[in-house]
Structure 1
Amino acid sequence: MSIDVEAAIFDLLGQVPAGKSVSPEQVARAVDPEGWRRLLGHVRATARGLARQQRLVITRHGKPADPEDFKGVYRLRLPDAPPQGDTP
């Protein structure tokens, strides 16, 4: 099931403009439109794991949140692209 959740997260994030986020509810509904509520804890756990791997950013009030210590309403977005500077 975590593969389904992970795939849904990245599929949804691929559909929104760069820098925009999706809600955990959107992810859960994409995986199981009927029983999405029971998946919210799984979405949270998967998001925390992806954030630890720096593949995802968990935000609260539009700012990055610590994946080890966040509470309440949150959203998910892709990490910012690394700066494109000149390399010697």
Structure 2
Amino acid sequence: MDDVDRVLERTIDELLDQRRPGTTICPSEAARAVDPEGWRELMPAARAAAGRLVAAGQAEVTQRGEVVDVATARGPVRIRRPR
């Protein structure tokens, strides 16, 4: 894990702290906060950071409102605090 991975985890955590309980964020929000110009290249790393937060019990990843495994989910996902 490199510095960008840690920054993405921290950014996801901070964005979730700023939201109402139960509210979700998109991984792209974290990627854009870390690198506004090169955020698209950070998307795989942002999804991986979300996966690490899930493994640590700090987040859930959802798709169409259902909890999913970010490693196997295809398409857009959202991140929220565990319920």
TM-score between the two structures when normalised by the length of structure 2: 0.88
Contact 1:58 1:64 (C-alpha < 8 Å) held by counterparts: yes
Equivalent residues in 2 for 1:1-88, closer than 5 Å: 1-80=4-83
Higher helix share: 2
Task: Supply the RMSD in Å over aligned alpha carbons.
Answer: 1.1
SS of the equivalent of 1:58 reads strand
Cα distance in 1, alignment partners of residues 46 and 54 from structure 2:
12
Unaligned runs of 5+ in 1: 81-88
Contact 1:52 1:67 (C-alpha < 8 Å) held by counterparts: no
Unaligned runs of 5+ in 2: none
TM-score between the two structures when normalised by the length of structure 1: 0.83
Aligned residues: 80
- Aligned-residue sequence identity (percent) comes to 36
